[in-house]
Amino acid sequence: MGLATKIGFHFHLAIAGLLFIALVITSINLICDKKSKFEATFNKDQTVSNDPSPGCNLFSGRWVYDNTSHPRYKDTKCSFMFEEYACEKYGRKDLKHQNWRWQPHHCDLPRFNGTALLEKMRGKKVVFVGDSLNKNLWTSMLCLIESSISPSSNKSLITDGNLLFFQDIEYNATIGFYWSPFLVESNNDDLILHRNELVVRIKAIETHARHWTDADMLIFDSFAWWAHAKRTLLWGSFNSSDAIYKTVETRYRPYEMSLNTWSDWLEFHIDRTRTKLFFMSLSPMHFWGEDWSTEQHCYNQTEPILKEGYWGIDTDKEMMRIAESALQNLENRGIKVEYLNITQLSDYRKDALTILYSESNIQGIHKDHSQNDNNNDGDEQRSISIPDGFVRNSTHAHYFNLSNKPLASLDKFTTCKSTVRYTGRRAASAVPRSEYGGQRAAAVEEGCDLFSGKWVFDNTSYPLYNESACPFMSDQLACHKHGRPDFGYQFWRWQPKNCNLKRWNAAEIWEKLRGKRLMFVGDSLNRGQWISILCLLQSAIPRDKQSITPNAELTIFRAENYNATLEFLWAPLLVESNSDDPVDHRLNERIMHPDAILRHSSKWEHADILVFNSYLWWRQGPVKLLWSDEENNACEEISGIGGMELAMESWANWVASNVDPLKKKVFFVTMSPTHQLKEEWESGSEGNCYNEKLPIHNERYWGSGSDLPTMRMVEKVLNRLGSKVSVLNITQLSEYRKDGHPTIYRKFWEPLSPETLANPSTYSDCIHWCLPGVPDAWNELLFQFL
């Protein structure tokens, strides 16, 4: 590979090439204040206008040669210039790339005013978060500001690990850069030392985010490092023996997952009234000269591309679509992120990249700057910011040998190369059956069976909270919010025979939980019970002493004054499966590791109280088994109940091996019934639970929504565990509550057709439960055991 060809792989722009982007950010801050001389209106396309009329899109325009007002500064005069961007210092002779000004159609950019910007930033903190391209942008901002203020002003640049920050003492303003090339955590999170092998903790962001949580303005980017041909995804910690690694050759799904993790963090941690958010679009590369009718790439290019509408073949529009979708989803959740759509305007600038004119190239090549494509001494080239492997179709990077790692996790990419019928294999038990445990704790004390009784109408003491007063309510369960006209479902109290439930007392329960972790593990029904417990208990915690931290599969509510947590872990099959993504799990086939539970158990093993469930997902037809020692992705197919039995046995093995009932309380919640057939409680009728307003009062009622063979199988497994597990037998008491489901009164994540909307029974949710409602009673029963 020729010298100039390898040099062309650098993505960085000469600093003057990023002047426009800094001006856009500056302009937005200046003109948003009605008292400033620039008035602005913004629409969803990030357009800005100097007059009330629409039509000015800052990101649509052309480059105009202007050697009168541009450049705004000299790279040799900027005291904050980093060596990797200093083209003039390192020998670039033609400097025309500095003289081009971006001209939007139908409007003008305001002239940059560094002192006005600092005044707007007085007492504030701005942080650029991302890779070297965002560092490029941050450096541009510092050079622009320095060129506008007095040389004698009191300013400094401080390095603190991955965080670099400029401070202006007079204005008490901080403008920082934080190195985080994937946004989520990775093995390339050191600002200086980078590796060719890429390992990304796709669900972890807290280590980074704590450095910029308190910022008043955040500017993110993340594109360039995803361009590598492969990366390894990591679930768990880097040094954990239970960590799961999976190498994938696609960039799109991992990129989407990382943006989901980032989005979840923003939703729960950003002050929406204070912090301004920006996301910079993809900065294009210029590898292929045939794009602009030349055999060379960007080396020796001295003019922009002037043909409007040009898109380079290296510009990945699918990556842009994924980012734009993530930003739209955030807006739907009430978080506005301004999209700095710099891609096409930068696509025109084949002349503005650093190519070989930077310190990193000088040190790596030791050649005169005039050398061209015929030179082959580029193998010593060192890149400060982007791994050398970011070459189209490059596969030379070294990756971890995963043979001595725990098995790779299942995900939506996993497929079975072949499938045969189940052969009868079982997971090996680590514990002899004789050691499983003694008699299981029962819910019967002195003739009182907590799970046998009736529902009593009680509109005096119920509901125990108001739906609208619970900040953690799910739109899937908020029936009144979504139009349910009746409230009767909220007023029913469970009354056991021959005894009473202890009255709910949030303060007393928090005392029971002081210093403890209570974790729910399972599917969306268990998540509903977890949301119920949050709503039941959160009002006793002052708002400044409570927080919730989403971490995809594991979501944690913290009560600071009790040093206690209420947690939910998504694990619908208990063992590892391709449905373990809590959001994206609608797949054509269910694949599971029937003998693998470590990835989940590593998250729940230190909890003090565990509440498990698993049932609903086994009712969706056959599942495919992929045993952990299977090297060729050959699967076995088994019935839902058969798969559930194998999963329950693996779970029981873990419980038997790891649970000391004197130190850890474990509960298993029996199946939550469905109400799909109205004829079961009203003979001769059609339909389902839609429009039901009263419970069933026949104490012997048992519907088809509860599967007796499954219950017997679960009972058999639980009996072997004895006192290690207590059973919350909520099935029959919930069978009576045909009135308690959301039916049509919930948020549906996909649009419904007019034909479907015209027939409510066809899309009624008769599986989940409204809140306040039935799951509150499950939690009342749970706390009788505590």
Catalytically active residues, by annotation? 524, 765, 768
Strands (E), 416-563: 418-421, 444-445, 448-449, 453-457, 492-496, 517-522, 546-551, 554-559
CA dihedral of residues 126, 109, 336, 745 (deg, nearest 10): 180
Q: Is 142 helix (H, G, I), strand (E, B) or coil?
A: helix
Q: Could you tell me which residues come within 8 angstroms of residue 660 by beta carbon, excluding any fewer than 6 positions away?
A: none
Query: How many beta carbons lie within 10 A of that of residue 14, not counting itself?
Result: 27
Dist CA 671 CA 377 (whole Å): 68
Nearest to 596 by CA among 400, 406, 401, 405: 406
Query: SS3 for 729?
Result: coil
The answer to whether 678 and 705 are in contact (CB under 8 A) is no
Q: Which residues contact 17 (CB under 8 A, 6 or more apart)?
A: 97, 346, 349, 352, 353
Return the exposure string of 121-157: e unless at least 16 CB atoms fall within 10 Å of the residue's CB, then b: beebbbbbbbbbbbbbbbbbbbbbbbebbeeeeebee
Euclidean distance between CA atoms 379 and 194, whole angstroms = 17
The separation between CA 774 and the C-alpha centre of its own chain, rounded to angstroms, equals: 30
Pair 71, 83: CB distance under 8 Å: no
Q: What type of residue is 357?
A: Y
Residue with tokens 């509860």: 706
Q: Does residue 550 sit in helix, strand or coil?
A: strand
On the 0-12 / 13-18 / 19+ scale of CB atoms within 10 A, 112 is buried
Q: How far apart are CA 116 and CA 403, in angstroms?
A: 58
d(CA 603, CA 519): 10
Q: Counting runs of H as helices and runs of E as strands, what totals does the chain give?
A: 17, 28
What distances in angstroms separate CA 631 from CA 248, 407, 576, 600, 680, one per listed residue?
A: 16, 10, 17, 22, 47
Buried/exposed code over 543-579 (b: 16+ C-beta within 10 A; e: otherwise) = eeebebbbbbbbbbbbbeebebbbbbbbbbbbbbbbb
Distance, CA of 538 to CA of 532 (rounded, Å): 10
Nearest-angstrom CA–CA distance, 56 and 358: 36
Cα–Cα distance for residue pair 99/129, rounded to 1 Å: 28
Identify whether the C-beta of residue 626 lies closer than 8 Å to the C-beta of residue 695.
Answer: no
Burial class (CB in 10 A: 0-12, 13-18, 19+), 30: buried
End-to-end CA distance of the chain: 70
Q: Measured between alpha carbons, how far is 276 from 134 in angstroms, rounded to an integer?
A: 17
